[in-house]
Amino acid sequence: MAAALRCAQKALEEGEVPIGAVVVSDGRIISRGHNRRTKKQLATAHAEIEAIEKACKKLKSWRIPECELYVTLEPCPMCMGAALNARIKKVCFGAREDKGRSLTREIAGANLLNHTVEVEGGVMEEECSAILSEFFSSMRLREGKKRKNGGDKGEKGE
Amino acid sequence: MAAALRCAQKALEEGEVPIGAVVVSDGRIISRGHNRRTKKQLATAHAEIEAIEKACKKLKSWRIPECELYVTLEPCPMCMGAALNARIKKVCFGAREDKGRSLTREIAGANLLNHTVEVEGGVMEEECSAILSEFFSSMRLREGKKRKNGGDKGEKGE
């Protein structure tokens, strides 16, 4: 998870929501990904998708059942579905999607494709949550300043 | 959906499970995709992902709320999640995933990201189901023949 956090840091440096992921096989990291949705203007450019696609390419197989995915935030349905499609053995995530709308366990346990993904949440939760909280705090601060400046301009009719 | 079926036909010609998808904006098809999972050995190479990614690239935005996705088979959680992430307005699918494990409506209505995708199933259902049934029938036939040949060889200890 420490490696996934370093990937999240990379996303942060690029101005993206800081989410990072790695795929591990036989105890070794075989691929890494970080969120690049804004940079690529692509709805699918999540950290997990990048890491899973790179792992498939590396292992030359769409089926990578010996692999585990580590990601700093609870995966969205798209990414959890991708883990299921790749027959990934286990998904470990850090921070929790607190409204429980990710449907993580429902997707993992749907037994779709006769495959069930093992899920472990809350791994290095504090660190994974902190990098996200800091990002959103500073974003709100920036947005607030922008609105304030925009509001001033608005009053002048610009 | 007829256009999505033509994409499915393309997948069939390439030896893939015949699933096709198109993205429509303002009544016009702006992107197409077909299943290429085996050819690309990529767990994410579903018809819907290809069509959504092409649509994002075309519209230069990860957010394409004016778009509708037409796909010949009920989307898996990954693809339904991708439609949600792209803020797609509506998903129309043809054949139904009959065991109800796709969680289509659960994902569409999870109100994750404060966005809900409208879903319509069973559009040109008969045609969409037929192309899949034919593919799986002929695959089973091929597998049966292979096993028979393999079995004969096996008996000879080869």
- How many secondary structure helices (H) and strands (E) does chain A include? 6, 5
Six-digit token string for B158: 């080869």
- For position A108, what pLDDT does the model report? 87
A114 touches chain B (CB under 8 A): no
Residue A100 has pLDDT above 70, yes or no: no
**Which of A44, A76, A84 is nearest residue B112 as measured by Cβ atoms?**
A76
Catalytic residue among A13, A14, A48, A143: A48
Residues A24-49: tens digit of each pLDDT: 999 999 999 999 999 999 999 999 99
Surface-to-core class of residue B88, CB atoms within 10 Å of its CB (0-12 exposed, 13-18 middle, 19+ buried): buried
Mean pLDDT calculated for residue range A11-20: 96
Catalytic residue among B13, B14, B48, B143: B48
Long-range contacts of the stretch A118-121 (C-beta < 8 A, 24+): A118/A89, A118/A90, A118/A91, A119/A90, A119/A91, A119/A92, A119/A93, A120/A90, A120/A91, A120/A92, A120/A93, A121/A74, A121/A92, A121/A93, A121/A96
Residues A44-86: tens digit of each pLDDT: 999 999 999 999 999 999 999 999 999 999 999 999 999 999 9
Six-digit token string for A73: 């935030």
Contacts of B60 in chain A (CB under 8 A): 41
Is the Cα torsion angle B132, B135, B138, B144 positive or negative in sign?
Answer: negative
**Which of A56, A80, A87 is nearest residue B77 as measured by Cβ atoms?**
A80
CA distance B73 to B87: 20
- For position B151, what pLDDT does the model report? 55
- How do the residues of chain B divide into helix, strand and coil, expressed in percent and rounded to 5? 50, 20, 35
Contacts of B86 in chain A (CB under 8 A): 43-44
Q: Between A119 and B155, where is the model more confident?
A: A119
Residue A157 has pLDDT above 60, yes or no: no
Size of interface A-B (CB pairs under 8 A): 128
- For position B153, what pLDDT does the model report? 47
| Residue in chain B lying closest to A40 (CA) | B62
**How would you write the pLDDT of chain B (158 residues) with one tens digit per residue?**
999 999 999 999 999 999 999 999 999 999 999 999 999 999 999 999 999 999 999 999 999 999 999 999 999 999 999 999 999 999 999 999 877 667 888 888 877 777 889 999 999 999 999 999 999 998 888 888 888 876 544 433 33
Residue A153 has pLDDT above 70, yes or no: no
Contact B43 A60 (CB under 8 A): no
Contacts of B17 in chain A (CB under 8 A): none
CA B119 and chain centroid, separation: 15
DSSP 8-state code for residue B103: -
C-alpha distances in angstroms, A156 versus A144, A148, B37? 19, 13, 56
* Nearest chain A Cα distance for residue B155, angstroms: 31
Phi, psi of A6 (to 5 degrees): -65, -35
CA distance A145 to B94: 48
CA distance A137 to B110: 26
Annotated active-site residue B66? The verdict is no
Six-digit token string for B75: 């989307």
B103 touches chain A (CB under 8 A): yes
Six-digit token string for B21: 């998808």
Residue linked to tokens 């994902």: B107
Mean pLDDT calculated for residue range A4-31: 97
B25 touches chain A (CB under 8 A): no
- For position A144, what pLDDT does the model report? 84
State percent of chain A over pLDDT 70: 93
CA dihedral B91, B93, B96, B102 (to 10 degrees): -30
B47 touches chain A (CB under 8 A): no
B114 touches chain A (CB under 8 A): no
- For position A112, what pLDDT does the model report? 73
- For position A158, what pLDDT does the model report? 30
> For residues B77 and B107, is the Cβ–Cβ distance under 8 A?
yes
Six-digit token string for B56: 């994002």
Six-digit token string for B127: 């045609």
Q: Is the pTM of this model over 0.80?
A: yes
Q: Between A105 and B118, where is the model more confident?
A: B118
B54 touches chain A (CB under 8 A): no
Residue A111 has pLDDT above 90, yes or no: no
Contacts of B79 in chain A (CB under 8 A): 78, 81
Determine which of A107, A116, A117 to mutate to test the interface with B (most B C-beta atoms within 10 Å).
A107
